[in-house]
Amino acid sequence: MQTNAAFEALPDTVGTAADRELADAALPFTSGAVKGLPAEATRLLAALRTALADAHVKDLDDLHAPLTELAAAGLQTPDSVEGRRHACRRGRRRGAPG
């Protein structure tokens, strides 16, 4: 699991701004601190965080389509601060270049 300090140290050139915002908002879910997302959504978001942390551009490219589909499917997030933050970031992902 990545620490906040390690994640914040990522250069802005790794992934898109939407990728980085979504990965940051996903941390409470991917760390297990907050429950409420389907397993597949959690898996995709964890893969996004890993791809960004490890600067795996090919993996990021491969994740754009399923993440866009996830956003378009209207994934329900928990009614919590973390859930609303994630929903906001996911909405930005919908308009991000794939």
Give the per-residue pLDDT at 97: 46
Between CA 55 and CA 32 the distance in angstroms is 23
Q: How many helices (H) and strands (E) in the chain?
A: 5, 0
Helix 39-53, helix 17-30: angle, nearest 10: 120
pLDDT, tens digit, 9 for 90 and up, residues 63-78: 999 998 988 887 777 6
Q: Which two tokens stand for residue 7?
A: 């994640």
Q: Which of 70, 21, 25 is nearest to 44 (CA)?
A: 70
pLDDT, tens digit, 9 for 90 and up, residues 17-65: 888 988 988 899 899 998 888 899 999 999 999 999 999 999 999 999 9
Phi, psi of 30 (to 5 degrees): -75, -25
The predicted model scores a pTM of 0.71
Phi, psi of 95 (to 5 degrees): -95, 0
